[in-house]
Amino acid sequence: MPTEIKIPAVGESITEVTIAKWLKKDGEAVKRDEVIAELESDKATFELPAEADGTLKIRVAEGETIGIGTVIAELDGAGASNGQAAPATAPTPAAAADPLTQGEQNPQASDQSGYGGTPADRPDSDPATPGAPAAAPTPAAGGGATVEMKIPAVGESITEVTVAKWLKPDGAQVSRDEVIAELESDKATFELPAEGSGILRHAVQEGETISIGATIARIEGGSGAAAATPAASAPVAAAAPVAAAAQPASSASTYATGVPSPAAGKILGEKGISATDVTGSGRDGRITKEDAQNAQAKPAAPAATPVALAPASSPAAPTSAATGNRGQRRERMSNLRKTVARRLVSVKNETAMLTTFNEVNMQPIMDLRTKFKDKFKEKHGVGLGFMSFFTRAVCVALKEWPAVNAQLDGNDIVYSDFCDISIAVSAPKGLVVPVIRNAEELSFDGVEKEVVRLAGLARDNKLTIEQMTGGTFTITNGGIFGSMMSTPIINAPQSAILGMHNIIQRPVAENGQVVIRPMMYLALSYDHRIIDGRESVSFLVRVKELLEDPTRLLLGV
């Protein structure tokens, strides 16, 4: 019996994951504990190992988002492969005597080939096999294979649809290509035609919302036009079985013809190739992932199209209005980006957020770094950066103003006597915020080593959920990208965040004289429900004092 591989629970707050990449192909043999896929949540990336030895059968396409506990693949053991399942129906006398027993013995052979009879009935079998003429009427007597209907891809940005209305009731007799249901997305309504002839069995209730690729119905007792043709032309099939089966498949056109799978659509979108320029090799002409990978762009077609259409459009003004490249690209939001967007909007709506500003003269820190950076790196093996000064200064100020380090929990305010400083890092997949635990106990080199370690994990997408949760205060540095001033958004459930910015040589007044100094703007965004103006301004002033006189950090004054 095949082993089902389900999405495991990867965290208390994670309810769905995205299949970022299949590391093993469909039909490939895998070993137990061998990594077969990479799963991506809104917080981290996980590896999925195989639970047993066997042949991998992929049930969910790369790039799809699914819930925890969903079956995404199966592992067939050595004795359950397709090549060894067929001999179970090889005895022709028993199969001809009881067609129902035949279907029970080898349901997989019937489902996968599309034929309900013995292996001798199939177009790919040997026409000289003994017993083949006697078994030929079996499909008509015992009924054809069950056709499983799945929700097709109806657009790049549409991931789920709603069964708006069943046009055919459960148990009704339907014909191939007959419209059986209306599907509704957030953008349009679509008709769903039957993929075969037989008795319709609903798998989803009217009004339910299901994802692309999910099973919506089954058609029992008929295999449609593709199965009817070999039965009607049995003498021809005996002479040329392969040609008889291939001809109906190539001439039939269904709703799936020319439609890319989710993984194929993503690849085509990245290449900028239209699905109309690709010939599908999948079932009913569907464009598979391999078709998309092998597809090549046609540079000549876009140039020829405007020239051919220009005379047809009579007004000359619209043609000359846009002459440059006007291509567009649509990408599905990653789970990380969706979570960041949801949390930022929630913070703006649910907190009384306010920002206060100050500026700091960075000359003393820059002089100190210039003087000791070589010896510091030689001794500790890590560079002396600005982040260690800011982290140390923030920890001192948080001890003096504990409300800035507090959090709201219902009607209670939770004060922390430790400083877990979150550092905003721009990773390849988006903004992540790893946490430096007990930063108040770390020295300058301890802070720098921890920053380097966490930033490296972020760049390699190896941060764990534990490493990104539980911070009490956040520092973000937009200055590395050239930002002069900003109002950072609080990292909930924290109550404050400090924004660093770029360092600019500006004229300032010192002792009645105008001098040029490297100045940086600091911004403190805080939740006014917990932190009053006196506390927020005093906190920022204290950080400014410590940075402009770094010896205070060494002496603790």
CA–CA distance, 174 with 195 (Å, rounded to integer): 10
Residue among 447, 428, 445, 427 at smallest CA distance from 436:
447
Query: Which entry of 33, 126, 374, 528 is annotated as an active-site residue?
Result: 528
* Catalytic residue list contains 532: yes
Residue among 364, 386, 366, 500 at smallest CA distance from 444:
386
CA–CA distance, 173 with 177 (Å, rounded to integer): 13
> Phi then psi for 510, rounded to 5 degrees?
-135, 120
* 529 secondary structure, DSSP code: T
> Cα dihedral sign for 19, 24, 30, 34?
negative
Integer angstrom CA distances of residue 477 from 177, 281, 423, 488, 523: 59, 50, 9, 10, 10
> Phi then psi for 308, rounded to 5 degrees?
-70, -35
Integer angstrom CA distances of residue 360 from 373, 479, 528, 549: 21, 14, 24, 10
Amino acid 404 reads V
CA–CA distance, 538 with 526 (Å, rounded to integer): 13
Q: What is the dihedral of CA 315, 321, 323, 328, to 10 degrees?
A: -110
Token pair for 424: 């905003």
Helix axes 444-459, 363-380, angle to 10 degrees: 80
Q: What is the dihedral of CA 478, 438, 406, 547, to 10 degrees?
A: -50
Residues with Cβ within 8 Å of 242's Cβ and at least 6 positions away in sequence, in order, are: 123, 124
Query: Which entry of 98, 170, 374, 532 is annotated as an active-site residue?
Result: 532
> Phi then psi for 148, rounded to 5 degrees?
-95, 120
CA–CA distance, 275 with 414 (Å, rounded to integer): 55
- N-term to C-term CA, the chain: 71
CA–CA distance, 235 with 244 (Å, rounded to integer): 10
Query: What are the E-state strand segments in 116-250?
Result: 147-150, 160-166, 173-174, 179-184, 189-193, 198-202, 209-211, 215-220
Residues forming the active site: 528, 532
